[in-house]
Amino acid sequence: MSKQLLQELQAAEIGRVVENEPLSKHTTWKIGGPADIFIEPDSIKSLEKTMAIIQPYHLPWRAIGRGSNLLVDDEGIEGIVIKLGQKMEYMERDGGRIRAGGGFSFIKLATILSKDGYSGLEFAGGIPGTVGGAVFMNAGAHGSDMSQILVKAHVLYPDGRLVWLSNEELEFSYRTSRLQKEKAICAEAVIQLKPGNKEEVVQEMKKHKNYRRETQPWNYPCAGSVFRNPLPNHAGELIEKAGLKGYRNGGAQISEQHANFIVNIDHAKAADVLGIINHVKNTIYDLYGVTMNTEVEIVKRK
């Protein structure tokens, strides 16, 4: 890794810049080796500056939020990891129109706005991650998703362009947006909520949070749902039907509580989780002829 690049980034005063940062500190699975260079920009301007500095070096890079949808290789990530962290956790409001930084906690945003009686984000009760990640993945639950409330997103492209994309331009579909194809970063988002009955909105949020608490294993490090639902089937039901609940490989295990969750029960390695993922894929295909695709992103060191 270029010492010159590291020095250039550190001299640019863009935020935190370090070498060999363990990504186990930045993923909800608590798994992952080091990033060669790890950057936490402290503003959108710093994010732009970061991209301008790294581009001429032609090194691989990726952006992360709270790491709630990532399985990072035990060997770490080659190149540069840009984290939209706390310095990009801001919110501006004009009634039900909200502008939030890409690093803003999605659950926190939903909780604050529901307490003020705004409706539209109830589905986010219990969804980990950031606003930027929610746009990138079109995060959703309980019959709704980000595409239902997003007005526009401020997006940084690898070539340095910073543009606003409308809801339509983001080409949302199930757990997918155009940003995934174009490797663009959602720096901030504008959403539109409706005034609702405060008590009803808060109750709905609590219901979704309680449902997650009762049905999903948040007492162990995990990354939420591992597989996309192969509609009309549900991933968890297929895995349970196949008798794989509780299946263990090394320090990782298919949750006894929810079969579409793999939990880190004892210092699991990425290889342990990957072993389970492959076992599930093969078993479900052999038994039911159904192809299982992961919802979590698997990041291997090249």
The SS3 call for residue 301 is: coil
CA angle, corner 110, sides to 109 and 112, nearest 5? 65
Task: List the beta bridge partners of residue 145.
Answer: 140
CA-based nearest residue to 84, from 57, 106, 53 = 106
Q: pTM of the prediction?
A: 0.89
The SS3 call for residue 175 is: coil
Q: Is the peptide bond before 41 cis (omega within 30 degrees of 0)?
A: no
Q: Return the pLDDT at 1.
A: 54
Selected residue with higher pLDDT from 218 and 70: 70
Distance CA 228, CA 156 (A): 27
In the chain, DSSP assigns E strands to 15-22, 34-41, 61-64, 70-72, 77-83, 91-94, 97-101, 118-119, 140-141, 144-145, 150-156, 162-166, 185-192, 194-195, 248-249, 252-254, 262-264, 297-299
Which residue is catalytic, options 175, 177, 188, 255?
Answer: 175
Ordered by where they begin, the domains of the chain are 3-86 (3.30.43.10), 89-215 (3.30.465.10), 235-299 (3.90.78.10)
**C-alpha pair distances (Å), 168 with each of 34, 72, 151, 189:** 37, 31, 9, 14
166 is catalytic: no
pLDDT, tens only, 115-157: 889 999 988 877 778 999 999 999 888 788 999 999 999 999 9
24 is catalytic: no
Give the amino acid at 223: A
Task: Dig out the tokens for 154 from the structure.
Answer: 């401020």
97 is catalytic: no
Are residues 193 and 118 in contact, defined by beta-carbon separation less than 8 angstroms?
Answer: yes
Q: Return the pLDDT at 218.
A: 73
Which residue is catalytic, options 8, 75, 169, 295?
Answer: 295
Q: Phi and psi at residue 206, in whole multiples of 5°?
A: -60, -40
Which residue is catalytic, options 46, 68, 225, 255?
Answer: 225
Q: Phi and psi at residue 272, in whole multiples of 5°?
A: -65, -45
DSSP 277: H
pLDDT, tens only, 245-289: 999 999 999 999 999 999 999 999 999 999 999 999 999 999 999
